[in-house]
A and B are shown apart, each in its own frame.
Chain A
Amino acid sequence: MDKFIANLTDALSNSALWAEFRAGIWETLYSTIVATFVACILGLVLGVLLVVGEKDGVRPLPAPVMRVLNFVINILRSVPFLILMLMVLPLSALLLGTSIGTLASIPPLIIASAPFVARLVETSLREVDKGVIEAAQSMGCSPFQIIWKVILPESKPSLIAGATTAFITILSYGAMAGAIGGGGLGKIAINYGYYKYNYAVMLIAVIFIVILVQIFQSLGTWLAVRSNKQLTRTRRRKKRKSK
């Protein structure tokens, strides 16, 4: 305990350490943002295919295609993240010339989270009222118009909420990546807490991660509620409070 307090006072006055935290926060942010962005695009495409491609979907795809798609997504989702990361790192080396550091952790983050995002998107899109899709069909919408002008806009609030969940999941994956050569706050926490038994620094790193999660969750919830026109103004206020 004495050691912890000594470490803590030391950490709080150590400007080199604070520079390290600043860099760590930046690395965590940019790897998470880049990975979330790419994973959301991939996940959106896959999620749309999962929903519109099924047998009585808007644009049915051949059953074997759907089976392969579901199979690949399930496999990727069932491999634990750390192991998947180790398996994908050679790809980073191939693509980016390095398998160590923040940059190298981005491709594995994308590959690990895109299938998860696809399932989130799938859930959101399935919430769109079948009757509304039918109404659009009755007006002569093409399958593409239904996806682009009905399904996606109608599920926008839910998709924003899903993107927030994706962001936070990828942030925590990124922290784990610190254990195997990734950068960011996760690396700082593991370096100090695991290798140097400096729990004070680890705690500070964790606190930063918690703060980032809180900020982005609040932002995401606010955006999702604000964009949802299905909630009238009073109900919207109530909903925001209950979150």
Chain B
Amino acid sequence: MIEIQHLQKTFPTSDGAFTALDDVNLTIRDGDIFGIVGMSGAGKSTLVRCINLLERPTSGHVVIDGEDMTALSPKALREKRRSISMIFQQFNLLMQRTCLDNICFPMEIAGVPKAKARLRARELLETVGLPDKADAYPAQLSGGQKQRIAIARALASNPKVLLCDEATSALDPTTTRSILRLIQDINKRLGITVIVITHEMAVVEEICSHVAVLEHGQVMETGTVEEVFSNPRSEAGRRLVFPDGVSLDQFPVARVVRVVFNGGSSYEPLIASLAIDCGVKVNILGADTRNIDGKAFGSMLLGLPQDNTEAAKAMNYLKSCHDVTVEEVQDYHG
């Protein structure tokens, strides 16, 4: 279990101290995939670097399995770090070593005999699906392959925790998905606790069980991914879940309604509050609206969810809105 207690980090800057982390409290249970999400500059990297003490907290504690990281001697800290691996956005492989030697590196540091280390490294190459890249150099690999090697290297020390700092942010969507699947697989099979730092909600949605939303160095909300996604309680959470003010989830549509705007407030807040106030997500199937001085004119086609009570809730809500008329479309063909 990882307990982050009253974590505070300030950086001295030319114009005074800058507070990057402000009283952060989190509990991460063993075996979880815990997401820490927030916009760029929120303090995510600083937080994750405080966990393995690459960054020393100004105050507060990081307790891992009952051991306070901040109280360890340099030597004990180095020892402890071997059970907390980290992967990075830029992979950070040793460019002058082959892939196999990169994977051997943490074992070399720990004094594992060379033959044994090489054997284990080959196993790990299998695990990450690159058995034929043992003698290749990182410069010869694609981004996704580099991250796989980095993951193999991270696993070499048999860690209990894997920290991922924007591990997929330099990768294309398809590669991102395959790397996330690999991380998920590792979590399931080896029971390694994973902390995923990301600015992309989609990454959290894809693999995390729990999530904390970070903004301006503070945890705005935390909970299971379902909780936070279906009902984000903080402003920061809502902005992340509905980046355009609407839910972009696609789901099977049962009923279609046409909403006509007669000069009320613009349509985005309407869809957002539909999601937030009623907890109902709708699909925008088509829209022809114009914003004139912040007022919406035009019409929009909305797909309502299959669940009848949810659909009824949405209809009632829409009907209660001013300057909006709602009608059901019977013969809609998407």
> Which of A's residues lie within 8 Å of B, judged by CB?
129, 131-132, 134-142, 145, 149-150, 153-154, 156-157, 227-232
Contact = CB atoms under 8 A, between A and B. Distances in A.
Contact of A129 (B81, B92, B110, B140): B92
Contacts of A129: 90, 92, 95
Contact of B95 (A141, A145, A230): A230
Given A140-B79, A230-B137, A153 B92 contact: no
A103 B96 CA distance: 38
B315 interface: no
A138 B54 contact: yes
A137 B77 CA distance: 10
A140 B83 CA distance: 9
Interface string B136-154: 0111100000000000000
A180 B3 CA distance: 71
B141 to A, nearest CB: 10
Interface in B88-129: 88, 90, 92-98, 105-106, 108-110
A138 B85 contact: yes
A148 B116 CA distance: 22
Taking chain A's interface residues, is the majority helix, strand, or loop, or is none over half, making it mixed?
helix
Interface residues of B, number: 31
A139 B82 contact: yes
Nearest to B80: A140
Interface in B52-73: 52, 54
Contacts of B82: 139-140
A140 B94 contact: no
B109 A138 contact: no
Given A131-B92, A154-B96, A229-B96, A138 B86 contact: yes
Nearest to A153: B96
Contact of B109 (A149, A154, A227): A149
B181 interface: no
29 contacts: A129-B92, A131-B92, A132-B94, A132-B95, A134-B88, A134-B92, A135-B86, A135-B88, A135-B93, A138-B52, A138-B54, A138-B163, A139-B82, A139-B85, A139-B105, A140-B77, A140-B110, A145-B109, A149-B108, A153-B94, A153-B96, A153-B97, A154-B94, A157-B96, A229-B95, A229-B139, A230-B96, A232-B137, A232-B140
A148 to B, nearest CB: 11
B78 interface: yes
Nearest to B87: A135
Contacts of A134: 54, 88, 92
B157 interface: yes
Contact of A150 (B80, B94, B139, B157): B94
A137 B90 CA distance: 16
A152 to B, nearest CB: 10
B81 A138 contact: yes
A168 to B, nearest CB: 24
Contact of A142 (B78, B105, B157, B163): B78
